[in-house]
Amino acid sequence: MKKTDESLKILDLPGLPGTSMIFGQNIMNEFQRHIHQAYIIGIVEKGVRIITHAKGEVKISGRDIFMLNPGQAHACRSGTCRGHSYTVLCIPQAQMKKSVQQNFGPKEKIPFFKGIVYREKTLFKQAARLFEIIKETGPDIGIQTYFSLFVTQLLTEGTTDLLTISEPEIKKKSIKTICDYLALNSHENFSLKKLSDIACLSPFHFQRQFTKSIGISPHEYLMDLKIKKAKKMLLRSQDIADIALGLGFVDQSHFSRMFRKTVGIPPGRYYQLNHKKRH
């Protein structure tokens, strides 16, 4: 059987700070447990995606739309041996909050999606249309209009069945301190004892509180930060060994394995597909 090429491309949307599209083709990789800082709204164009979350497992196929809240821990994989293709819209919390304020008034509230998979024809068509427009036009400033229309429809027409508007969750101060510390020092590696000392907790209680609050372990959180930084570095450089060393990985092989588990393709392939179009 002919091997299909895996592909993953990232497109930043102009005029929408932090908002991006991810186009995955024939992805067979199993993604380890992780979180996103942004809202994730996506569709599967070929094959099946399986998402494992705190309450179980869901399957997403054609005509389904899936949504994840910021900080929602999950793992995902292809439901077939031939991989799956998908398109994902990543909306940062600040951008979503702005849309909420435009529709519901200037209140310090954010949306929270009640479920992960939805089988609503109208909503799917709206998402598919937006994604197709972005594919056809590329990074065009006019995309802002289509984006605003889609998010407005999502927040207003789908409010009753899809989401609630609620106050942002406030993490424990000690856990937030660790998250901020790791973000500033993601190029280093830390023992559980070191982090628990910073949080002024015992290693046992720190591990339990962190995982309960964030949804993933401190090690998984740090690894996620490293890979996010690596993705940015790969837009400027293809020196994988240097990137691996700079981010505190044992060696290039270790970095490449962890990158693929998180992103879906090897770092070299990611560089080839994304660096030229994002200067």
Strands laid side by side in the 49-53 sheet: 31-34, 74-78, 49-53, 56-60
Residues 111 and 137 in one domain: yes
Last residue of a domain, one of 135, 166, 197: 166
Q: Is residue 188 part of a domain?
A: yes
Indicate if 23 and 148 belong to the same structural domain: yes
Checking if the pLDDT of 27 tops 60, the result is yes
At residue 166, the pLDDT reads 56
In-domain check, residue 48:
yes
219 near 210, Cβ under 8 Å? no
> Residue 110 above 60 pLDDT?
yes
pLDDT tens, residue by residue, 176-227: 899 999 999 999 999 999 999 999 989 999 999 999 888 899 999 999 999 9
Number of domains composing the chain: 2
Say whether both 161 and 133 belong to one domain. yes
**Percent of the chain predicted with pLDDT > 90:** 52
92 sits in the region (left: phi over 0; alpha: psi -120 to 50; else beta) called beta
Read off the pLDDT of each residue in 9-16 and give the average, rounded to a whole number: 87
Which of left, alpha, beta for 109 (phi over 0: left; psi -120 to 50: alpha)? Answer: beta
The token pair at 190 is: 């830390």
Residue 167 clears pLDDT 60, i.e. is over it: no
Predicted pLDDT of residue 165: 55
Task: Look at residue 138 and tell me whether its pLDDT is greater than 90.
Answer: no
Residue 55 included in any domain = yes
CATH number at residue 210: 1.10.10.60
Max Cα-Cα span within the chain:
56
Structure confidence at residue 149 (pLDDT): 83
Q: Are 110 and 100 contacting, i.e. CB atoms less than 8 angstroms apart? A: yes
Query: In the structure, what pLDDT confidence band is assigned to residue 275 with cuts at 50, 70 and 90?
Result: confident
What is the share, in percent, of the chain residues with pLDDT greater than 70? 89
* Paired sense of beta strands 84-91 and 56-60, if any: unpaired
Mean pLDDT of 7-36: 90
158 shares its domain with 181: no
Residues 148, 20, single domain; the answer is: yes
- Residue numbers of the domain that contains 273: 173-278
If you average pLDDT over every residue of the chain, what do you get? 86
- Whether 48 shows a pLDDT value over 60: the answer reads yes
- Shared domain check, 193 and 154: no
Assigned domain for 224 exists: yes
119 and 25 in a common domain: yes
Q: What is the per-residue pLDDT for 151?
A: 84
Domain stop point among 139, 166, 193: 166
Q: Which of 111, 135, 166 is the last residue of a domain?
A: 166
The more confidently predicted of residues 42 and 158 is 42
Does 157 lie in the same domain as 20?
yes
Instruction: Confirm whether 214 is domain-assigned.
Output: yes
